[in-house]
Amino acid sequence: MTDLAVEGLVHVYREGSVRALDGIDLRIAAGERVALIGQNGSGKTTLVRHLNGLLRPTAGRVMVDGRNASTMTVAQLASRVGLVFQDPDRQVFAGSVRAEVEFGPRNLGRSGAELHDAVAAALDVTGLTGDEATNPYDLGMARRKLLALASVLAMRTPVLVLDEPTTGQDARGVERVRTVVKDAATDGRTVVAISHDMRFVAETFERVVVLRAGTIILDGSPDEAFAPSSWEALRSTYLEPPLSAVVGERLGLGSTPTDAHVVRALAGKP
Amino acid sequence: MTLALAGVGYRYAGSRRPSLLDIDLELRDGTVVGVVGASESGKTTLCLVASGLAPRTVGGQVRGRITLDGEDVDAWPMHRLSERIGIGFANPATQLSQVAATVFEEVAFGPMNLAVERGEVIERSWSALDTLGIAELAERDPRRLSGGQQQLVAMAGLLAMRPQHLILDEPTAQLDPAGTRLVGDAIARLAADGASILVTEQKTDLLAAIASEVLALSDGRVALRGPAHDVLRDPALAELGVAEPSTVRLGRLLGAAGVASARYEAALHD
Protein backbone atom coordinates (compact mmCIF):
# COMPACT_ATOMS: atom_id res chain seq x y z
CA MET A 1 0.00 0.00 0.00
CA THR A 2 1.39 3.35 -1.01
CA ASP A 3 0.61 6.70 0.54
CA LEU A 4 1.37 9.90 -1.32
CA ALA A 5 2.17 13.19 0.35
CA VAL A 6 2.88 16.44 -1.44
CA GLU A 7 4.31 19.11 0.85
CA GLY A 8 4.73 22.78 -0.03
CA LEU A 9 5.31 21.84 -3.65
CA VAL A 10 6.40 24.68 -5.93
CA HIS A 11 7.33 24.23 -9.56
CA VAL A 12 8.71 26.96 -11.78
CA TYR A 13 9.32 26.08 -15.42
CA ARG A 14 12.67 27.57 -16.32
CA GLU A 15 11.59 28.42 -19.87
CA GLY A 16 9.11 31.12 -19.03
CA SER A 17 9.57 31.37 -15.26
CA VAL A 18 5.89 30.54 -15.01
CA ARG A 19 5.04 29.49 -11.46
CA ALA A 20 3.00 26.42 -12.43
CA LEU A 21 2.62 25.15 -8.86
CA ASP A 22 2.58 27.62 -6.02
CA GLY A 23 2.63 25.70 -2.75
CA ILE A 24 0.62 22.48 -3.00
CA ASP A 25 -0.11 20.41 0.12
CA LEU A 26 -1.93 17.18 -0.56
CA ARG A 27 -2.06 13.83 1.24
CA ILE A 28 -3.55 10.85 -0.53
CA ALA A 29 -4.08 7.61 1.38
CA ALA A 30 -3.61 4.21 -0.21
CA GLY A 31 -6.72 3.09 -2.09
CA GLU A 32 -8.26 6.55 -2.52
CA ARG A 33 -9.87 7.59 -5.83
CA VAL A 34 -9.00 11.24 -6.34
CA ALA A 35 -9.99 13.50 -9.24
CA LEU A 36 -7.95 16.62 -9.99
CA ILE A 37 -9.96 19.31 -11.74
CA GLY A 38 -9.30 22.91 -12.75
CA GLN A 39 -9.08 25.06 -15.85
CA ASN A 40 -6.52 24.43 -18.59
CA GLY A 41 -3.13 25.59 -17.36
CA SER A 42 -4.04 25.44 -13.64
CA GLY A 43 -1.16 23.05 -12.88
CA LYS A 44 -2.87 19.65 -12.88
CA THR A 45 -0.46 17.95 -15.27
CA THR A 46 2.56 19.59 -13.64
CA LEU A 47 1.40 18.25 -10.27
CA VAL A 48 0.94 14.64 -11.39
CA ARG A 49 4.28 14.60 -13.19
CA HIS A 50 5.92 15.09 -9.81
CA LEU A 51 4.30 11.93 -8.49
CA ASN A 52 6.50 9.65 -10.59
CA GLY A 53 9.59 11.81 -10.68
CA LEU A 54 9.16 13.04 -14.23
CA LEU A 55 9.41 16.55 -12.83
CA ARG A 56 11.42 17.49 -9.74
CA PRO A 57 10.20 20.16 -7.31
CA THR A 58 11.57 23.68 -7.42
CA ALA A 59 10.70 23.76 -3.72
CA GLY A 60 8.86 21.45 -1.33
CA ARG A 61 8.82 17.69 -1.62
CA VAL A 62 6.87 14.67 -2.74
CA MET A 63 6.75 11.66 -0.40
CA VAL A 64 5.96 8.21 -1.77
CA ASP A 65 5.57 5.49 0.87
CA GLY A 66 7.08 7.86 3.40
CA ARG A 67 10.22 8.33 1.31
CA ASN A 68 11.25 11.53 -0.42
CA ALA A 69 10.74 10.92 -4.15
CA SER A 70 13.82 13.01 -4.88
CA THR A 71 15.97 10.33 -3.25
CA MET A 72 14.37 7.52 -5.25
CA THR A 73 15.52 6.42 -8.68
CA VAL A 74 13.19 6.61 -11.65
CA ALA A 75 13.06 2.80 -11.58
CA GLN A 76 12.05 2.74 -7.91
CA LEU A 77 9.32 5.28 -8.56
CA ALA A 78 8.15 3.52 -11.73
CA SER A 79 7.44 0.36 -9.78
CA ARG A 80 5.13 2.31 -7.45
CA VAL A 81 3.53 5.03 -9.53
CA GLY A 82 2.25 4.40 -13.06
CA LEU A 83 1.48 7.53 -15.10
CA VAL A 84 -0.63 7.49 -18.24
CA PHE A 85 -0.04 10.55 -20.41
CA GLN A 86 -2.77 12.68 -21.89
CA ASP A 87 -1.26 12.26 -25.36
CA PRO A 88 -0.64 8.55 -26.03
CA ASP A 89 1.78 9.38 -28.82
CA ARG A 90 4.25 10.56 -26.19
CA GLN A 91 4.15 7.12 -24.66
CA VAL A 92 3.44 4.47 -27.29
CA PHE A 93 6.52 3.25 -29.17
CA ALA A 94 6.48 -0.53 -29.69
CA GLY A 95 5.70 -2.34 -32.94
CA SER A 96 2.73 -4.30 -31.62
CA VAL A 97 0.06 -3.97 -28.97
CA ARG A 98 1.46 -6.97 -27.10
CA ALA A 99 5.04 -5.67 -27.12
CA GLU A 100 3.79 -2.29 -25.90
CA VAL A 101 1.86 -3.76 -22.97
CA GLU A 102 4.64 -6.23 -22.05
CA PHE A 103 7.35 -3.60 -21.96
CA GLY A 104 6.54 -2.14 -18.54
CA PRO A 105 6.05 -5.37 -16.56
CA ARG A 106 9.13 -6.93 -18.21
CA ASN A 107 11.16 -3.93 -17.07
CA LEU A 108 9.89 -4.58 -13.56
CA GLY A 109 11.23 -8.14 -13.86
CA ARG A 110 7.94 -9.94 -14.43
CA SER A 111 7.97 -13.06 -16.58
CA GLY A 112 6.14 -16.31 -17.25
CA ALA A 113 2.58 -16.69 -16.01
CA GLU A 114 2.75 -13.49 -13.97
CA LEU A 115 3.63 -11.46 -17.06
CA HIS A 116 1.08 -13.26 -19.18
CA ASP A 117 -1.73 -12.70 -16.68
CA ALA A 118 -0.93 -9.03 -16.16
CA VAL A 119 -0.91 -8.38 -19.91
CA ALA A 120 -4.08 -10.39 -20.54
CA ALA A 121 -5.97 -8.59 -17.78
CA ALA A 122 -4.86 -5.16 -19.00
CA LEU A 123 -5.88 -5.94 -22.59
CA ASP A 124 -9.22 -7.32 -21.44
CA VAL A 125 -10.31 -4.33 -19.38
CA THR A 126 -9.31 -1.89 -22.14
CA GLY A 127 -11.08 -3.90 -24.85
CA LEU A 128 -7.89 -4.66 -26.78
CA THR A 129 -7.96 -8.46 -26.51
CA GLY A 130 -7.62 -9.80 -30.05
CA ASP A 131 -5.49 -6.86 -31.16
CA GLU A 132 -2.22 -8.21 -29.70
CA ALA A 133 -0.48 -8.29 -33.09
CA THR A 134 -1.83 -4.93 -34.29
CA ASN A 135 0.59 -2.08 -34.80
CA PRO A 136 -0.34 0.65 -32.30
CA TYR A 137 -0.40 3.23 -35.08
CA ASP A 138 -3.08 1.23 -36.90
CA LEU A 139 -5.36 1.88 -33.92
CA GLY A 140 -7.37 5.08 -33.91
CA MET A 141 -6.43 7.80 -31.39
CA ALA A 142 -9.06 6.71 -28.84
CA ARG A 143 -7.94 3.09 -28.79
CA ARG A 144 -4.27 4.13 -28.81
CA LYS A 145 -5.10 6.00 -25.63
CA LEU A 146 -6.63 2.85 -24.15
CA LEU A 147 -3.44 1.03 -25.17
CA ALA A 148 -1.34 3.56 -23.28
CA LEU A 149 -3.61 2.90 -20.29
CA ALA A 150 -3.25 -0.88 -20.69
CA SER A 151 0.55 -0.64 -20.81
CA VAL A 152 0.61 1.12 -17.45
CA LEU A 153 -2.10 -1.11 -15.92
CA ALA A 154 -0.02 -4.19 -16.75
CA MET A 155 2.72 -2.90 -14.43
CA ARG A 156 0.26 -3.30 -11.52
CA THR A 157 1.70 -0.32 -9.70
CA PRO A 158 0.08 0.46 -6.36
CA VAL A 159 -0.59 4.01 -7.61
CA LEU A 160 -2.22 4.76 -10.96
CA VAL A 161 -2.13 8.33 -12.29
CA LEU A 162 -4.28 9.17 -15.32
CA ASP A 163 -4.00 12.46 -17.21
CA GLU A 164 -7.38 13.11 -18.86
CA PRO A 165 -8.15 9.45 -19.52
CA THR A 166 -11.59 10.03 -21.09
CA THR A 167 -10.52 12.64 -23.64
CA GLY A 168 -11.64 11.58 -27.10
CA GLN A 169 -13.27 8.38 -25.80
CA ASP A 170 -16.70 7.42 -27.01
CA ALA A 171 -19.39 6.32 -24.55
CA ARG A 172 -18.03 2.77 -24.35
CA GLY A 173 -14.47 4.02 -23.91
CA VAL A 174 -15.56 6.20 -21.00
CA GLU A 175 -17.21 3.15 -19.40
CA ARG A 176 -13.99 1.18 -19.80
CA VAL A 177 -12.00 3.89 -18.05
CA ARG A 178 -14.58 4.01 -15.27
CA THR A 179 -14.24 0.24 -14.81
CA VAL A 180 -10.44 0.56 -14.67
CA VAL A 181 -10.66 3.19 -11.95
CA LYS A 182 -13.18 1.30 -9.84
CA ASP A 183 -11.41 -2.06 -10.22
CA ALA A 184 -8.10 -0.52 -9.25
CA ALA A 185 -9.62 0.98 -6.12
CA THR A 186 -11.32 -2.31 -5.26
CA ASP A 187 -7.86 -3.91 -5.43
CA GLY A 188 -6.63 -1.33 -2.94
CA ARG A 189 -4.69 0.67 -5.52
CA THR A 190 -4.68 4.45 -5.44
CA VAL A 191 -6.04 6.30 -8.47
CA VAL A 192 -5.34 9.96 -9.18
CA ALA A 193 -6.97 11.26 -12.37
CA ILE A 194 -7.16 14.59 -14.12
CA SER A 195 -10.45 15.22 -15.89
CA HIS A 196 -12.56 17.97 -17.39
CA ASP A 197 -15.62 15.73 -17.52
CA MET A 198 -17.54 16.71 -14.40
CA ARG A 199 -20.15 13.96 -14.79
CA PHE A 200 -17.40 11.34 -15.02
CA VAL A 201 -15.68 12.86 -11.99
CA ALA A 202 -18.82 12.97 -9.86
CA GLU A 203 -19.79 9.40 -10.74
CA THR A 204 -16.37 7.78 -10.47
CA PHE A 205 -14.33 9.40 -7.70
CA GLU A 206 -14.74 9.71 -3.96
CA ARG A 207 -12.63 12.84 -3.60
CA VAL A 208 -12.32 15.94 -5.77
CA VAL A 209 -9.37 18.35 -5.59
CA VAL A 210 -9.80 21.66 -7.40
CA LEU A 211 -6.77 23.60 -8.64
CA ARG A 212 -6.51 27.23 -9.65
CA ALA A 213 -3.30 28.92 -10.74
CA GLY A 214 -1.11 26.33 -9.07
CA THR A 215 -2.90 26.20 -5.72
CA ILE A 216 -5.60 23.96 -4.24
CA ILE A 217 -8.81 25.91 -3.68
CA LEU A 218 -11.18 23.07 -2.82
CA ASP A 219 -10.77 19.49 -1.57
CA GLY A 220 -13.73 17.30 -0.67
CA SER A 221 -16.17 14.58 -1.64
CA PRO A 222 -18.21 15.05 -4.85
CA ASP A 223 -21.12 15.93 -2.53
CA GLU A 224 -19.08 18.81 -1.14
CA ALA A 225 -17.20 19.83 -4.27
CA PHE A 226 -20.34 20.11 -6.41
CA ALA A 227 -22.67 21.49 -3.72
CA PRO A 228 -24.07 24.95 -4.50
CA SER A 229 -21.82 26.44 -1.80
CA SER A 230 -18.80 25.40 -3.90
CA TRP A 231 -19.95 26.78 -7.24
CA GLU A 232 -18.31 30.14 -6.74
CA ALA A 233 -14.96 28.42 -6.21
CA LEU A 234 -15.53 26.14 -9.21
CA ARG A 235 -16.43 29.07 -11.41
CA SER A 236 -13.35 30.98 -10.28
CA THR A 237 -11.34 28.32 -12.14
CA TYR A 238 -13.80 28.29 -15.04
CA LEU A 239 -15.53 25.04 -14.12
CA GLU A 240 -19.25 24.43 -14.12
CA PRO A 241 -21.03 21.95 -11.83
CA PRO A 242 -22.60 18.97 -13.61
CA LEU A 243 -26.18 19.31 -14.87
CA SER A 244 -27.52 17.13 -12.04
CA ALA A 245 -26.13 19.57 -9.45
CA VAL A 246 -27.76 22.53 -11.20
CA VAL A 247 -31.11 20.76 -11.50
CA GLY A 248 -30.92 19.67 -7.86
CA GLU A 249 -30.26 23.20 -6.70
CA ARG A 250 -33.16 24.60 -8.73
CA LEU A 251 -35.51 21.96 -7.34
CA GLY A 252 -34.25 22.43 -3.77
CA LEU A 253 -32.90 18.89 -3.49
CA GLY A 254 -29.63 19.74 -1.73
CA SER A 255 -26.36 18.55 -3.22
CA THR A 256 -26.95 16.21 -6.18
CA PRO A 257 -23.55 15.62 -7.81
CA THR A 258 -24.83 12.78 -10.02
CA ASP A 259 -27.97 11.94 -11.98
CA ALA A 260 -28.57 9.07 -9.55
CA HIS A 261 -28.80 11.59 -6.69
CA VAL A 262 -31.53 13.52 -8.53
CA VAL A 263 -33.46 10.36 -9.34
CA ARG A 264 -33.26 9.18 -5.71
CA ALA A 265 -34.39 12.56 -4.43
CA LEU A 266 -37.35 12.80 -6.79
CA ALA A 267 -38.53 9.20 -7.17
CA GLY A 268 -41.66 8.48 -5.24
CA LYS A 269 -42.40 12.17 -4.63
CA PRO A 270 -45.40 13.87 -6.19
CA MET B 1 -21.46 28.75 -51.12
CA THR B 2 -21.73 25.03 -50.57
CA LEU B 3 -19.26 22.25 -49.99
CA ALA B 4 -20.97 19.06 -51.10
CA LEU B 5 -20.12 15.38 -50.92
CA ALA B 6 -22.18 13.05 -53.10
CA GLY B 7 -21.88 9.28 -52.81
CA VAL B 8 -18.41 9.67 -51.35
CA GLY B 9 -16.38 6.66 -50.27
CA TYR B 10 -12.77 6.39 -49.18
CA ARG B 11 -10.22 3.64 -48.73
CA TYR B 12 -6.86 4.19 -47.02
CA ALA B 13 -3.80 3.04 -48.97
CA GLY B 14 -3.08 -0.59 -48.13
CA SER B 15 -6.44 -1.11 -46.44
CA ARG B 16 -8.66 -3.91 -47.66
CA ARG B 17 -11.95 -2.31 -46.80
CA PRO B 18 -13.23 1.21 -47.23
CA SER B 19 -13.33 3.52 -44.19
CA LEU B 20 -16.15 5.63 -45.65
CA LEU B 21 -19.09 4.56 -47.77
CA ASP B 22 -21.91 6.39 -49.55
CA ILE B 23 -21.58 9.71 -47.77
CA ASP B 24 -23.93 12.47 -48.92
CA LEU B 25 -23.40 15.77 -47.20
CA GLU B 26 -24.07 19.43 -47.91
CA LEU B 27 -22.32 22.15 -45.96
CA ARG B 28 -24.30 25.29 -46.70
CA ASP B 29 -23.43 28.81 -45.64
CA GLY B 30 -24.37 29.62 -42.11
CA THR B 31 -24.84 26.05 -40.95
CA VAL B 32 -23.13 23.87 -38.38
CA VAL B 33 -23.28 20.15 -39.12
CA GLY B 34 -22.31 17.90 -36.22
CA VAL B 35 -20.86 14.42 -36.69
CA VAL B 36 -21.02 11.80 -33.95
CA GLY B 37 -20.09 8.14 -33.82
CA ALA B 38 -18.07 5.62 -31.87
CA SER B 39 -14.29 5.58 -32.11
CA GLU B 40 -13.16 4.45 -35.56
CA SER B 41 -16.60 4.92 -37.08
CA GLY B 42 -15.13 7.23 -39.73
CA LYS B 43 -15.36 10.71 -38.20
CA THR B 44 -11.72 11.68 -38.64
CA THR B 45 -11.63 10.10 -42.09
CA LEU B 46 -14.64 12.17 -43.09
CA CYS B 47 -12.77 15.30 -41.98
CA LEU B 48 -9.72 14.33 -44.03
CA VAL B 49 -11.81 13.64 -47.13
CA ALA B 50 -14.08 16.68 -46.84
CA SER B 51 -11.07 18.99 -46.40
CA GLY B 52 -9.24 17.44 -49.34
CA LEU B 53 -6.26 16.25 -47.26
CA ALA B 54 -7.26 12.76 -48.30
CA PRO B 55 -6.13 11.78 -50.84
CA ARG B 56 -3.89 14.81 -51.53
CA THR B 57 -1.49 14.36 -48.62
CA VAL B 58 -2.80 11.20 -46.94
CA GLY B 59 -3.00 9.05 -50.09
CA GLY B 60 -5.71 6.43 -50.51
CA GLN B 61 -8.62 6.34 -52.91
CA VAL B 62 -11.69 8.58 -52.96
CA ARG B 63 -14.89 7.68 -54.80
CA GLY B 64 -17.90 9.85 -55.55
CA ARG B 65 -18.03 13.62 -56.09
CA ILE B 66 -16.82 16.50 -53.96
CA THR B 67 -17.85 19.96 -55.15
CA LEU B 68 -17.50 23.58 -54.09
CA ASP B 69 -20.41 25.64 -55.39
CA GLY B 70 -21.09 22.95 -57.94
CA GLU B 71 -17.52 22.86 -59.22
CA ASP B 72 -15.74 19.52 -59.02
CA VAL B 73 -12.61 19.96 -56.87
CA ASP B 74 -10.97 16.70 -57.95
CA ALA B 75 -8.14 18.43 -59.78
CA TRP B 76 -7.66 21.27 -57.27
CA PRO B 77 -4.30 21.24 -55.50
CA MET B 78 -4.25 21.46 -51.69
CA HIS B 79 -3.11 25.09 -51.55
CA ARG B 80 -6.11 26.16 -53.62
CA LEU B 81 -8.52 24.17 -51.47
CA SER B 82 -7.00 25.47 -48.25
CA GLU B 83 -7.94 29.03 -49.19
CA ARG B 84 -11.55 27.96 -48.95
CA ILE B 85 -11.55 25.12 -46.46
CA GLY B 86 -9.91 25.21 -43.03
CA ILE B 87 -9.25 22.07 -41.01
CA GLY B 88 -8.57 21.63 -37.30
CA PHE B 89 -7.30 18.37 -35.83
CA ALA B 90 -8.11 16.83 -32.47
CA ASN B 91 -4.46 16.79 -31.44
CA PRO B 92 -3.12 20.37 -31.41
CA ALA B 93 0.46 19.08 -31.55
CA THR B 94 -0.32 18.09 -35.16
CA GLN B 95 -1.78 21.49 -35.90
CA LEU B 96 0.83 23.92 -34.62
CA SER B 97 3.36 25.14 -37.16
CA GLN B 98 6.33 24.36 -34.84
CA VAL B 99 8.10 27.38 -36.37
CA ALA B 100 6.44 30.23 -34.47
CA ALA B 101 8.26 31.56 -31.39
CA THR B 102 5.14 33.11 -29.87
CA VAL B 103 1.45 32.37 -29.75
CA PHE B 104 0.77 35.59 -31.67
CA GLU B 105 3.07 34.51 -34.52
CA GLU B 106 1.45 31.09 -34.51
CA VAL B 107 -2.01 32.60 -34.95
CA ALA B 108 -0.75 35.03 -37.61
CA PHE B 109 0.97 32.21 -39.51
CA GLY B 110 -2.18 31.07 -41.35
CA PRO B 111 -3.41 34.42 -42.68
CA MET B 112 0.17 35.44 -43.56
CA ASN B 113 0.43 32.33 -45.72
CA LEU B 114 -2.80 33.36 -47.44
CA ALA B 115 -1.02 36.64 -48.34
CA VAL B 116 -3.43 38.70 -46.23
CA GLU B 117 -2.28 42.33 -45.88
CA ARG B 118 -0.09 42.95 -42.78
CA GLY B 119 -2.40 45.30 -40.90
CA GLU B 120 -5.28 42.93 -41.38
CA VAL B 121 -3.21 39.94 -40.23
CA ILE B 122 -2.52 41.75 -36.95
CA GLU B 123 -6.14 42.80 -36.53
CA ARG B 124 -7.44 39.29 -37.26
CA SER B 125 -4.91 37.65 -34.96
CA TRP B 126 -5.78 39.82 -31.94
CA SER B 127 -9.46 39.37 -32.65
CA ALA B 128 -9.08 35.56 -32.75
CA LEU B 129 -7.07 35.55 -29.51
CA ASP B 130 -9.71 37.73 -27.82
CA THR B 131 -12.55 35.55 -29.05
CA LEU B 132 -11.00 32.50 -27.42
CA GLY B 133 -9.95 34.32 -24.25
CA ILE B 134 -6.22 33.75 -24.71
CA ALA B 135 -4.91 37.24 -25.51
CA GLU B 136 -2.75 37.05 -22.38
CA LEU B 137 -0.87 34.10 -23.90
CA ALA B 138 0.19 36.12 -26.97
CA GLU B 139 3.88 36.34 -26.03
CA ARG B 140 4.20 32.75 -24.76
CA ASP B 141 5.97 29.94 -26.61
CA PRO B 142 3.19 27.79 -28.12
CA ARG B 143 5.17 24.61 -27.51
CA ARG B 144 5.29 25.32 -23.77
CA LEU B 145 1.55 25.56 -23.20
CA SER B 146 -0.78 22.98 -21.72
CA GLY B 147 -2.64 20.67 -24.13
CA GLY B 148 -5.85 22.63 -23.76
CA GLN B 149 -4.15 25.98 -24.27
CA GLN B 150 -2.50 24.63 -27.41
CA GLN B 151 -5.88 23.53 -28.69
CA LEU B 152 -7.23 27.06 -28.24
CA VAL B 153 -4.18 28.49 -30.04
CA ALA B 154 -4.71 26.10 -32.96
CA MET B 155 -8.38 27.15 -33.09
CA ALA B 156 -7.40 30.84 -33.02
CA GLY B 157 -5.13 30.22 -36.01
CA LEU B 158 -8.08 28.81 -37.92
CA LEU B 159 -10.37 31.70 -36.96
CA ALA B 160 -7.74 34.19 -38.19
CA MET B 161 -7.81 32.53 -41.63
CA ARG B 162 -11.56 33.31 -41.88
CA PRO B 163 -12.29 30.19 -43.93
CA GLN B 164 -15.56 29.90 -45.83
CA HIS B 165 -15.78 26.26 -44.81
CA LEU B 166 -14.30 24.89 -41.64
CA ILE B 167 -13.79 21.23 -40.81
CA LEU B 168 -13.12 20.56 -37.11
CA ASP B 169 -12.21 17.16 -35.71
CA GLU B 170 -13.05 17.14 -32.00
CA PRO B 171 -11.93 20.74 -31.50
CA THR B 172 -12.64 20.70 -27.76
CA ALA B 173 -11.21 17.28 -26.88
CA GLN B 174 -8.62 18.67 -24.46
CA LEU B 175 -10.50 21.75 -23.31
CA ASP B 176 -11.94 22.57 -19.94
CA PRO B 177 -15.65 23.42 -19.83
CA ALA B 178 -14.97 27.16 -20.23
CA GLY B 179 -12.68 26.60 -23.22
CA THR B 180 -15.27 24.29 -24.71
CA ARG B 181 -17.91 26.99 -24.38
CA LEU B 182 -15.65 29.62 -25.96
CA VAL B 183 -14.95 27.37 -28.94
CA GLY B 184 -18.67 26.58 -29.21
CA ASP B 185 -19.50 30.30 -29.18
CA ALA B 186 -16.80 30.98 -31.78
CA ILE B 187 -18.20 28.27 -34.06
CA ALA B 188 -21.73 29.62 -33.67
CA ARG B 189 -20.55 33.16 -34.44
CA LEU B 190 -18.63 32.03 -37.55
CA ALA B 191 -21.78 30.34 -38.80
CA ALA B 192 -23.84 33.44 -38.03
CA ASP B 193 -21.34 35.40 -40.14
CA GLY B 194 -22.00 33.04 -43.04
CA ALA B 195 -19.37 30.32 -42.78
CA SER B 196 -20.26 26.65 -42.78
CA ILE B 197 -18.76 24.27 -40.27
CA LEU B 198 -18.51 20.50 -40.05
CA VAL B 199 -17.60 19.46 -36.52
CA THR B 200 -17.04 16.01 -35.05
CA GLU B 201 -17.52 15.74 -31.30
CA GLN B 202 -17.92 13.24 -28.49
CA LYS B 203 -19.42 16.11 -26.46
CA THR B 204 -23.03 15.90 -27.53
CA ASP B 205 -23.87 18.68 -25.06
CA LEU B 206 -21.85 21.03 -27.26
CA LEU B 207 -23.51 19.84 -30.47
CA ALA B 208 -26.94 20.27 -28.89
CA ALA B 209 -26.01 23.93 -28.40
CA ILE B 210 -24.53 24.75 -31.83
CA ALA B 211 -25.43 22.21 -34.52
CA SER B 212 -28.43 22.51 -36.80
CA GLU B 213 -27.99 19.07 -38.33
CA VAL B 214 -26.31 15.96 -36.94
CA LEU B 215 -25.00 12.85 -38.70
CA ALA B 216 -24.18 9.70 -36.78
CA LEU B 217 -21.61 7.44 -38.41
CA SER B 218 -21.27 3.72 -37.93
CA ASP B 219 -18.67 1.65 -39.78
CA GLY B 220 -18.07 4.46 -42.24
CA ARG B 221 -21.72 4.90 -43.18
CA VAL B 222 -24.35 7.41 -42.13
CA ALA B 223 -26.50 5.52 -39.60
CA LEU B 224 -28.69 8.44 -38.49
CA ARG B 225 -29.16 11.98 -39.75
CA GLY B 226 -31.53 14.82 -39.23
CA PRO B 227 -32.13 17.98 -37.21
CA ALA B 228 -29.76 18.05 -34.21
CA HIS B 229 -32.64 18.16 -31.75
CA ASP B 230 -34.09 14.89 -33.07
CA VAL B 231 -30.91 12.92 -33.65
CA LEU B 232 -29.44 13.81 -30.25
CA ARG B 233 -32.46 12.37 -28.44
CA ASP B 234 -32.71 9.27 -30.63
CA PRO B 235 -32.37 6.14 -28.42
CA ALA B 236 -30.43 4.51 -31.29
CA LEU B 237 -27.45 6.76 -30.43
CA ALA B 238 -26.58 4.61 -27.41
CA GLU B 239 -26.31 1.52 -29.62
CA LEU B 240 -23.90 3.45 -31.82
CA GLY B 241 -21.65 4.09 -28.82
CA VAL B 242 -22.47 7.79 -28.60
CA ALA B 243 -23.11 9.46 -25.24
CA GLU B 244 -26.48 11.17 -25.07
CA PRO B 245 -26.53 14.86 -24.06
CA SER B 246 -26.70 15.43 -20.27
CA THR B 247 -30.23 16.81 -20.39
CA VAL B 248 -31.48 13.85 -22.41
CA ARG B 249 -29.80 11.35 -20.08
CA LEU B 250 -31.17 12.84 -16.87
CA GLY B 251 -34.63 13.15 -18.42
CA ARG B 252 -34.54 9.50 -19.49
CA LEU B 253 -33.39 8.30 -16.04
CA LEU B 254 -36.13 10.32 -14.33
CA GLY B 255 -38.73 8.99 -16.76
CA ALA B 256 -37.61 5.43 -16.04
CA ALA B 257 -38.00 6.10 -12.31
CA GLY B 258 -41.53 7.34 -12.88
CA VAL B 259 -40.84 10.99 -12.10
CA ALA B 260 -43.18 13.37 -13.93
CA SER B 261 -41.18 15.32 -16.47
CA ALA B 262 -42.84 18.71 -15.86
CA ARG B 263 -40.77 19.64 -12.81
CA TYR B 264 -37.52 18.59 -14.45
CA GLU B 265 -38.32 20.47 -17.64
CA ALA B 266 -39.13 23.56 -15.62
CA ALA B 267 -35.83 23.30 -13.74
CA LEU B 268 -33.94 23.00 -17.03
CA HIS B 269 -35.43 26.18 -18.40
CA ASP B 270 -35.20 28.15 -15.21
Nearest CA in chain A to B143: A15
* Residue A250, H or E segment: helix A243-250
Strand pairing of B2-11 and B61-68? antiparallel
Chain A to chain B Cβ contacts (< 8 Å): 124
Q: Compute the C-alpha angle A121/A127/A129, nearest 5°.
A: 65
Identify the pLDDT of residue A14.
76
Q: Determine the distance in angstroms separating the CA of A109 from the nearest CA of chain B, rounded to an integer.
A: 34
ipTM greater than cut 0.95: no
**Contact criterion met (CB below 8 Å) for A57 and A6:** no
Nearest CA in chain B to A145: B39
User: What confidence tens digit (pLDDT) does each residue in B221-255 have?
Assistant: 999 999 999 999 999 999 999 999 999 999 999 99
The CB-based long-range contact list for B237-242 (8 Å cut-off, 24+ gap) reads B237/B36, B237/B204, B238/A171, B240/B36, B240/B37, B240/B38, B240/B41, B240/B216, B241/A170, B241/A171, B241/A172, B241/B37, B241/B38, B241/B39, B241/B41, B242/A170, B242/A171, B242/B36, B242/B37, B242/B38, B242/B202, B242/B204, B242/B216
**Contact criterion met (CB below 8 Å) for A175 and A100:** no
Amino acid residing at B60: G
Identify the pLDDT of residue A1.
59
Tell whether B141 is within 8 A of chain A (Cβ).
yes
**SS3 assignment, position A103:** helix
List CB contacts (< 8 A) between A171 and chain B: 38, 238, 241-243
Selected residue of A175, A247, A256, A264 to mutate for chain B interface (largest B Cβ count, 10 A): A247
> Percentage of chain B surpassing pLDDT 90?
71
Q: Determine the distance in angstroms separating the CA of B1 from the nearest CA of chain A, rounded to an integer.
A: 31
User: What confidence tens digit (pLDDT) does each residue in B96-121 have?
Assistant: 888 899 999 999 998 998 889 999 99
Identify the pLDDT of residue B267.
82
What is the CA B237 to chain-centroid distance, rounded? Answer: 19
**Contact criterion met (CB below 8 Å) for B228 and B216:** no
In angstroms, what CA-CA distances link B212 with A145, B34, B89?
Answer: 31, 8, 22
- What does the pLDDT average to over B172-187? 87
**Contact criterion met (CB below 8 Å) for B36 and B237:** yes
Please, which pLDDT band fits residue B85 given cuts at 50, 70 and 90?
Answer: very high
Nearest CA in chain A to B238: A171
Q: Is it true that the peptide bond before B111 is cis, omega within 30 degrees of 0?
A: no
Identify the pLDDT of residue A236.
92
**Contact criterion met (CB below 8 Å) for A240 and A41:** no
Average pLDDT along chain A, 270 residues, taken 10 residues at a time: 89 81 96 94 93 93 93 90 89 91 94 96 97 92 94 96 93 96 92 95 97 96 97 92 94 94 83
A→B interface, C-beta within 8 Å: 13, 15-16, 38-41, 45, 86-87, 89, 140-143, 164, 167-174, 196, 198-199, 238-240, 242-244, 246-247, 250-251, 259-260, 262-263, 266-269
Q: At what angle do helices B118-131 and B103-113 cross, to 10 degrees?
A: 130
Q: Which of A168, A171, A269 sits opposite B241 (nearest CB)?
A: A171
Q: Which of A45, A250, A263 sits opposite B267 (nearest CB)?
A: A250
Continuous H helices in A52-164: 74-78, 97-107, 112-125, 141-153
Q: State yes or no: pLDDT of B41 exceeds 90.
A: yes
Selected residue of B16, B17, B39 to mutate for chain A interface (largest A Cβ count, 10 A): B39
Identify the pLDDT of residue A15.
65
Tell whether B253 is within 8 A of chain A (Cβ).
yes
List CB contacts (< 8 A) between B44 and chain A: 140-141
Q: Which of A164, A168, A196 sits opposite B90 (nearest CB)?
A: A168
List CB contacts (< 8 A) between B177 and chain A: 196, 198, 238-240
Identify the pLDDT of residue A135.
94
List CB contacts (< 8 A) between B258 and chain A: 267-268
Identify the pLDDT of residue A250.
93
Residue B62's beta-bridge partner residues?
B10
Q: State yes or no: pLDDT of B93 exceeds 80.
A: no
A259, A86, A264: which is closest to A177 by C-alpha? A86
Tell me the pTM.
0.89
**Is there a contact between B38 and A244 if contact means CB atoms under 8 Å apart?**
no
Strand pairing of A190-194 and A207-212? unpaired
Identify the pLDDT of residue A268.
66
Nearest CA in chain A to B244: A171
Tell whether B131 is within 8 A of chain A (Cβ).
no
Q: State yes or no: pLDDT of B269 exceeds 70.
A: yes
Give the whole-angstrom CA distance, residue B172 versus residue A86.
14
